[in-house]
């Protein structure tokens, strides 16, 4: 007996989680925060445990109100989901379907093409430019009457490059208003360029912009799965229709609200991650690896045919990374001790050479 299978799923690869690390090794494969949860966040989650016999607030009203107040917008424009990846799926399902196209740069966030195919739409991948950044002119040229949405991952995953505020403004202005431009700012807190916060400003100025943020990276809530989108009203209403019911737990919502109350503490942690990111890039460059300047919490090394060699060297030194075969290695910015381990590995490698 052959069970039914949906046509087209053969073209959808399963998402690959970053490799786990053996005891004593540094897991730098998943762009996670290297810091444990803040005490105040743990306390908020602990307090919420007493009601886990009840369904969570599906509307996340308290959190959405907090976020709306922060940005000075109508709470109806804020949607919450299980991380920015689920919100990206919501946006795609809200605007695109069979016969439509959704565009993004490539290489960019690995889930984009799968999410588009799952929605029944066609993914349009526009190659990055020679600087491993978005080719905005190429993306504009790739727009067709079937284009429904364009994703701009800024900073870009896995390359860490950014589109400047001025470039992004020109791009958004040139995209027809019947196409949704989604600015995915999952890594925005680590950006030290003028593009920081550009997505929100463009949302205020243009009727066809949505912005994605997550609590997984800078806020350190990857294990609780929560993020938010700010979208035009008609898009946000459709997002709520396609969202998984009760997809965000009350534990996650409590942790997110507590994190918003603790941003001064989190800022110090973010500063450490940025410092170690820049140190990581310098270490790799000094060792002869073509590391790209990054504005995210990781460093991209487009090692090409030497990708497996670099991954193996780091793994032997107790550093677990994300490898893209034949393309490069993405190394998350970890703790000082994690980057010390990378440094020791590279020094040992040079000595052997």
pLDDT in tens, 305-318: 999 999 999 999 99
Task: Tell me the mean pLDDT in the region 254-271.
Answer: 97
Residue 296 has pLDDT above 50, yes or no: yes
| Last-in-domain residue among 260, 288, 314 | 260
Residue 11 lies in a domain: no
Interior/surface letters 78-101, b for 16+ CB within 10 angstroms, e for the rest: bbbbbbbbbbbbbbbbbbbeeebb
d(CA 185, CA 252) in angstroms, rounded, equals: 20
Among the listed residues 222, 227, 260, 268, the one whose alpha carbon sits nearest the alpha carbon of residue 32: 222
Residue 9 lies in a domain: no
Indicate the pTM of the whole model.
0.95
Residue 100 lies in a domain: yes
Residue 350 has pLDDT above 60, yes or no: no
Residues 215 and 132 grouped into a single domain: yes
Residue 352 has pLDDT above 70, yes or no: no
Residue 2 lies in a domain: no
| 23 vs 325: which has the higher pLDDT | 325
pLDDT at 24: 76
Q: Are 235 and 87 a contacting pair, CB within 8 Å?
A: no
pLDDT in tens, 317-335: 999 999 999 999 999 999 9
Most distant CA pair in the chain, distance: 60
Q: Which domain holds residue 62?
A: 39-260
For 89, the 3-state DSSP assignment is: helix
Q: Are 230 and 77 a contacting pair, CB within 8 Å?
A: yes
- Could you please report the per-residue DSSP string of 171-197? HHHHS-TTSEEEEE-TTGGG--STTTT
d(CA 3, CA 280) in angstroms, rounded, equals: 49
Among the listed residues 193, 249, 186, 230, the one whose alpha carbon sits nearest the alpha carbon of residue 90: 230
pLDDT at 114: 97
Residues 112 and 189 grouped into a single domain: yes
d(CA 181, CA 36) in angstroms, rounded, equals: 34
Residues 230 and 335 grouped into a single domain: no
pLDDT at 148: 98
- Exposed (0-12), middle (13-18) or buried (19+): which is 182, by Cβ within 10 Å? buried
Interior/surface letters 282-305, b for 16+ CB within 10 angstroms, e for the rest: ebbeebebebbbbbbbbbbbbbee
* DSSP state for residue 292 in the 8-state scheme: P
Q: What is the mean pLDDT of the chain?
A: 95
The total of structural domains in the chain comes to 2
d(CA 68, CA 184) in angstroms, rounded, equals: 18
* CATH number of the domain that residue 201 is part of: 3.40.640.10
Place of tokens 């991948």: 125
pLDDT at 348: 65
pLDDT at 353: 45
Among the listed residues 235, 225, 261, 265, the one whose alpha carbon sits nearest the alpha carbon of residue 60: 225
Residues 286 and 202 grouped into a single domain: no
Residue 273 has pLDDT above 90, yes or no: yes
Task: Tell me the mean pLDDT in the region 247-268.
Answer: 97
Q: Are 127 and 152 a contacting pair, CB within 8 Å?
A: no
| Last-in-domain residue among 233, 260, 287 | 260
| Last-in-domain residue among 212, 243, 260 | 260
Residues 195 and 119 grouped into a single domain: yes
From residue 165, alpha-carbon distances to 190, 237, 289 in Å are 15, 28, 29
Among the listed residues 98, 160, 100, the one whose alpha carbon sits nearest the alpha carbon of residue 128: 160
Among the listed residues 34, 229, 221, the one whose alpha carbon sits nearest the alpha carbon of residue 151: 229
Residues 318 and 173 grouped into a single domain: no
pLDDT at 328: 98
pLDDT at 5: 76
Residues 114 and 233 grouped into a single domain: yes
pLDDT in tens, 31-76: 999 999 999 999 999 999 999 999 999 999 999 999 999 999 999 9
Residues 104 and 167 grouped into a single domain: yes
For 343, the 3-state DSSP assignment is: helix
Residues 236 and 290 grouped into a single domain: no
Residues 33 and 179 grouped into a single domain: no
In degrees, to the nearest 5, what angle opens at C-alpha 228 toward C-alphas 225 and 240?
A: 100
Residue 181: CA count within 13 A, CB half-sphere: 28
């Amino acid at each position: 007996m052959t069970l039914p299978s949906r046509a087209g799923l053969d073209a959808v690869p399963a998402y690959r989680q970053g490799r786990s690390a053996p005891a004593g090794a540094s897991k730098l494969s998943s762009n996670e925060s290297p810091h444990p949860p803040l005490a105040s966040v743990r306390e908020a989650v602990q307090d919420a445990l007493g009601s886990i016999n009840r369904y969570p607030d599906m509307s996340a009203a308290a959190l959405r109100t907090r976020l709306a107040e922060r940005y000075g917008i109508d709470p109806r424009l804020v949607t919450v989901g299980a991380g920015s990846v689920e919100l990206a799926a919501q946006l795609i399902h809200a605007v695109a379907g069979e016969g439509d196209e959704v565009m993004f740069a490539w290489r960019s966030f690995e889930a984009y093409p799968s999410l588009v195919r799952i929605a029944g739409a066609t993914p349009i991948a526009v190659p990055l430019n020679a600087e491993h950044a978005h080719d905005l002119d190429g993306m504009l040229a790739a727009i067709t009457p079937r284009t429904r949405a364009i994703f701009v991952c800024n900073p870009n995953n896995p390359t860490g490059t950014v589109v400047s505020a001025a470039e992004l403004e020109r791009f958004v202005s040139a995209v027809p208003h019947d196409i949704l431009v989604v600015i995915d700012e999952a890594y925005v807190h680590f950006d030290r360029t003028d593009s920081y916060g550009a997505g929100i400003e463009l949302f205020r100025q243009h009727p066809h912009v949505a912005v994605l943020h997550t609590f997984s990276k800078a806020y350190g809530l990857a294990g609780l799965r929560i993020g938010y989108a700010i979208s035009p009203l008609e898009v946000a209403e459709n997002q709520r229709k396609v969202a998984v019911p009760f997809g965000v737990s009350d534990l996650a919502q409590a942790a997110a609200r507590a994190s918003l109350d603790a941003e001064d503490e989190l800022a110090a942690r973010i500063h450490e991650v940025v410092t170690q990111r820049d140190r990581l890039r310098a270490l790799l460059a000094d060792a002869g690896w073509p590391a790209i300047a990054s504005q995210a919490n990781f460093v991209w090394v487009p090692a090409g045919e030497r990708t497996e060699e670099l991954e193996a060297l780091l793994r032997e030194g107790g550093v677990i990374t994300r490898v893209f075969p034949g393309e490069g290695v993405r190394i998350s910015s970890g703790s000082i001790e994690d980057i010390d381990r990378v440094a020791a590995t590279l020094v040992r490698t040079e000595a052997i050479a």
